[in-house]
Amino acid sequence: MLAHALASQVKLDVVETDYRGHAMAVARAAARDGLDLVVAHGGDGTVNEVVNGLLADTGGAPGRFDSVPMLGVVPGGSANVFARALGLPRDPVEATHRLLHAIEDRSSRQVGLGLADDRWFTFNAGMGWDADVVAGVDRRRGKRTGPSLYLRTAVACYLRPPLGRPRLTVRLPGAEPAEVLTAFVSNTDPWSYLGARPVHLNTECSFDTGLGLFALRGLGLPSVLRHVRQALRVRGRHRGRHLLRHDDLPIIGIVAEEPVNFQVDGDLVGQRTRVEFRSVPRALTVAV
């Protein structure tokens, strides 16, 4: 039904993905073939693959994004953080109607993205506890993902960190290095969703600003519970003596004393000992 609706306005090719990385390969081929629009129908993992495919040949260099196809998003996952941050409907039928109107009206916006070494991310990335949670959920692939699975996995990873709690050193422009235990990097706000409830870490962060950093020097239970409560408030203003938080950063460097899990947009990339995060303004045009 969605394909039929889109095919009424555009010349459409539909590709069903069969394996991890397939959407990235298809999007890269579409960019090389000079297509005008690539629509990702799926969850945040699918969208992330499509974005990485579209931008694969740009090298992250400014001024090379005008030739990249426009992105359209029709949500089809459990969280759909990127689509919701853009203000798109969660219902795929409604989102398709919005996309058709955007195509007809030539309505679009440019969004800034994050680049973690060679991997683009649309809304968040992290090293430490959150990446441990993503790794734990990934091991349960096949089970229906949802808030309850993420909550159970978050508690399990907090009580028994699968890789221990190696220290991370955060390096920011013009600042002394700081040691933390977990680090969250945001490209927009909310950072994620707990069902229908938004999770706020860097409320000043948006697709039009630099990156946000939320890192904790300690993971004691009182401190963690305080920040969980603050994250679930409407505006999510965080305060705490173990907190390291910044907004609108152009670059963030994180070095681990031993390999730690590393995730982008809720997908496990693997383990890293160092990652450089860069903000890339106006990296992608999205149909809205």
Enumerate the domain spans of the chain.
2-112, 124-282
Each residue's pLDDT tens digit, 17-54: 999 999 999 999 999 999 999 999 999 999 999 999 99
pLDDT at 61 (0 to 100): 62
The separation between CA 8 and the C-alpha centre of its own chain, rounded to angstroms, equals 31
Decide: 230 and 243 in contact? Cβ < 8 Å. no
pTM value is 0.93
At residue 269, what are phi and psi to the nearest 5 degrees? -90, -35
Asked whether the domain spanning 124-282 has the same topology as the one spanning 2-112, the reply is no
Residue with tokens 């505006």: 235
Amino acid at 79: A
pLDDT at 287 (0 to 100): 96
Helix or strand run (H / E) with residue 105: helix 92-105
Token pair belonging to 29:
């081929």
Helix or strand run (H / E) with residue 172: none
Q: Does the domain formed by 2-112 have CATH 3.40.50.300?
A: no
Q: Beta strand pairing status for 211-216 and 197-199?
A: unpaired
Decide: 246 and 94 in contact? Cβ < 8 Å. no
Domain at 124-282: CATH code: 2.60.200.40
Consecutive sets of 10 residues in the chain, 288 residues long: mean pLDDT of each? Answer: 87 93 96 95 95 89 71 91 95 94 94 96 97 91 74 94 96 97 97 90 95 97 94 83 96 97 96 97 94
N- to C-terminal Cα separation, the chain: 20
User: How many other C-beta atoms lie within 10 A of the C-beta of residue 88?
Assistant: 22
